[in-house]
Structure 1
Amino acid sequence: MKIAFVGKGGSGKTTLAAMFARHLTGRGPVLAIDADINQHLAAALGAPASVAAQLPPLGEHLPEIKEYLRGTNPRIGSAAEMVKTTPPGTGSRLLRVVEDNPVYAACVRDVNGVRVAATGAFTAEDLGVSCYHSKVGAVELLLNHLQDGPGEYVVVDMTAGADSFASGLFTRFDRTFLVCEPTLRSVGVYRQYAGYARDYGVALSVVGNKVEDASDVDFLREHVGEDLLTWVSRSAYVRRAERGAVEPLSQLEAANRAVLAQLAVAVDDTVQDWDAFARHAHEFHRRNAVAWANDRAGVDLTAQIDPDFRLGPARAGAPSAATA
């Protein structure tokens, strides 16, 4: 299952994504990806600042990632012709959540028992030259080629607000958790996100955060309705974690531990729609090709779409390379 945590900046989505990733390690293989412009997921998992700063950015390995995923796909003339929306096809190499491959060897590191990858921070060299979505494109490309099976989890800490709608990345998830504080600004982000996501059938659940009393719950119910799945109460554990003291989850308040379990049930009950996954991948690839990618590559990138290729459970036992 591919899971996104989204929400207003400061809503607590990174902290909750980190706790949920740690919770899931007791249920199956987990890969956590930091796709936020503010790279704090490794720290939220308990990595010292020096360790978090040394995570190898996915964006810096994009040429190697493209070359690996391309495999022997005859529709892709070269790795240079691959863009963030390039979908897999016959001959492409597919990724599993846990396996030995050069992409993971280069970019994935263990942080307190959680396997983590990061897009890389926005740097001074990027100012006035590129946008952050060029870095997040590496995540979209990986998710396009990811063959995850039941009981396997990919947790992505996304950019704040509705920034993920700048590409088709928002359609790459089986379940999206929108972390929402009981404030007008936070529910405003919910309305914007839900409005964009509704047309694409995004499975969206709201997780209230920093809830202090029943009036906060009532406020959230009034503004998000049935999308409210559960809520996290104000937590001394979380306050200590945000100050750098990441303790075992057994120290988390019982009510908030129950929230993590509830999120896991919601994820496991989600049905993966592989046909929709492919359909949206093809749609956004066509859009990007026509808007800018064809001109940049000098070829018609819509020809990369393999209409008969589908990821899905039938491939769960298949090797990484479709031609292997």
Structure 2
Amino acid sequence: MPLRLVFMGTPEFSVPTFKALADAGHEIAAVYTQPQRPAGRRGLELTKSPVHQAAEALGLPVRTPRSLKGEEEQQAFRALEADAAVVVAYGLLLPKPILEGTRLGAYNGHASLLPRWRGAAPIQRAVMAGDEETGMMVMKMDEGLDTGPVAMTWKVAIGRDMTAGELHDVLKEAGARLMAEAMAVLEVGGLPLTPQPTEGATYARKISKEETRVDWTRPAQEVHNHIRGLAPFPGAWCEIQLGGRKERVKLLRSTLAAGGGRPGEVVDGDLAVACGEGAVRLLEVQRAGGKPVAAGDFLRGAKIGKGARLL
């Protein structure tokens, strides 16, 4: 018999899982998502989250509390009389009364191979660290930060030039399939749970503005991982001397290159840049106020030659 579920999620990453559960025939009692946020170039328009929009398209009730710590919100959640809650990138802390507010508990779709990269930015941190593998996990939630026992795992290889954005898109689809499978097993009463290992835990803290600037004194592999781990958002960046002034430029795609020189020095005509050790070739960049462009198109407009310096 299909489960009666509460779905809790906010960004576009959550939408495939939400749709997979609805398509599987489960009853979605309610959808919880973050409140509307300012959007648009001037931030004047309030915009519903991707999950909010997807839920409305299916005619499902949507709730947008700013907190779940109050007794009134907790009672409203329990009143749904759901079998389970499914949580994917929701963005709010779930207190114990919410975690225990359904018959079978709350299950989280998390984008890492736990206990590695618990926390808010597991996809970006995995790429920035140069991990060769990550995955999706379905975990039964407890009061800790991504510390609950694991039910299912789907592993994904991280290509040497893969960006966080590309990995995000692979994992959101893998996560949808995995959660649908997990709920199908839970539906018949036999979802096994395995405690996480006590060793190997790392924390995937949020990306801060202060760490987005490229440090050309680092080895090329680290610079490359930094660029692809922050692409497309928020984007690694550096400054380039253009037209007599410094201009901030986002670096969206790169690969390792041969050669070397002073850190930040352009070492050929195809935008290979020297690092502390080795070099990276920039493949896609974005000037302030512009659109992402291939490095060749950027060079035709910017006229940056061998020996130029990126800061």
Higher strand share: 2
Higher relative contact order structure (alpha carbons within 8 Å, sequence separation ≥ 6): 1
Same fold? TM cut 0.5: no
> TM-score, normalization: structure 1?
0.29
Higher helix share: 1
> TM-score, normalization: structure 2?
0.30
Q: Which protein is bigger by CA-based radius of gyration?
A: 2
